[in-house]
Amino acid sequence: MTASDLPPLERLEALEQIRTLKARYCRFIDTKQWQALRGLFSSGARFEGFGSAPDGSDADAFVAGVSSRLAQAVSTHHCHTPEIVLLTPTRARGVWAMQDHLQWPHAIVLRELPDATGFVGSGHYEEEYVREEGQWKMAFLRLSRLRIDPLPAGTAFPAGGAGRAPDARWLDPAS
């Protein structure tokens, strides 16, 4: 069965579930919900282009790397204008325009940004998704940055650090 054999409503549902998956990815990183973030990835997920984990890393290495790198940082991730293609009823690919803003309370040591306290980056995510046990999961993520603008030393760190995270129960229909 190909993706084009799916009824239109099922195709739309799959696309919406993938969009929701990506929204959770951004929110879980920014609110430092590392266990929930790990749950978004397939068992064989692989990563490329991330400063927090070497190319080819699995999901456990990626989450360990990003949680360590962003432990003291305030981050905001925004993903826009998804282009998603269903390849089969259980496999899809997508490209998302992205922008992230990462700032640490002190100067950081990144080879590409000496003496910066963070950066604003823009680029794209290229992703592959698989449907496992009735749920869409991320199976491959590649981050390609088109631009990185450093936040120079002396840039004010947000008062109160990361602020208030959204209530984890907010989207729970039972609450």
**Pairwise CA distance, residues 173 & 175, whole Å:** 6
pLDDT digits over 62-101, tens only? 999 999 999 999 999 999 999 999 999 999 999 999 999 9
User: pLDDT at position 152, please?
Assistant: 84
pLDDT digits over 14-43, tens only? 999 999 999 999 999 999 999 999 999 999
Question: Domains (ranges, CATH) in the chain?
Answer: 7-152 (3.10.450.50)
The pTM for the full model equals 0.91
DSSP codes of every residue in 43-75: EEEEEES-TTS-TTB-HHHHHHHHHHHTTT-EE
User: pLDDT at position 115, please?
Assistant: 78
